[in-house]
Structure 1
Amino acid sequence: MIERWVYEQYKEFCVADVAIECFKIDAARLSRDIQTRIGNALRQLGCKRIEKRTHATTRFWYKSPTEMGHDRRTGRGDEEKGSDHGIAF
């Protein structure tokens, strides 16, 4: 469920976006425990966490593996795709 939602994202998103849009959790019921579980799942799926600071707050945003150019099944970047495992001579 979360994997499909993440791979459909083409812009940065936050944990609240996942909770509200993917899991249909009301924002008022979004506890720290739920946020932590979603964050762990996002990291396991290969999402990159980005820290954005403003005057008084720090927020974490995520980039999906597809936005970073990673292969969906293997989690490898575009530069690692292909069958050549060494340097061509």
Structure 2
Amino acid sequence: MDSTWAALYIFLLAAFTGYEVISRVPVILHTPLMSGSNFVHGVVLVGAMVVLGHADTALERAIGFIGVVLGAANAAGGYAVTERMLEMFERKPKGGQ
């Protein structure tokens, strides 16, 4: 039971820390910061999969599954934003086409 509380504590601490860090980033810097740190999302996803693989109880599996889902969504969103941002810098053909 102690490991379950420890896992829940770590999950809540990570969620709170992530929220506090991201909420303090100015809006103008959010997109470049997100696109420049997509590798971090991949590391988070791998870490969540490792935690899920070592889960023993149903609560630990649920927390691990939520971590994998949120990590995957974060990674996919990061790459989608990067793609949109890079499209802004493509040269448009002359002549309005």
Give TM-score, length-normalised by structure 1: 0.33
Q: Which has the higher helix share?
A: 2
Higher relative contact order (CA 8 A, sep 6+): 2
Give TM-score, length-normalised by structure 2: 0.31
> Of the two, which has the highest radius of gyration?
2
Q: Which has the higher strand share?
A: 1
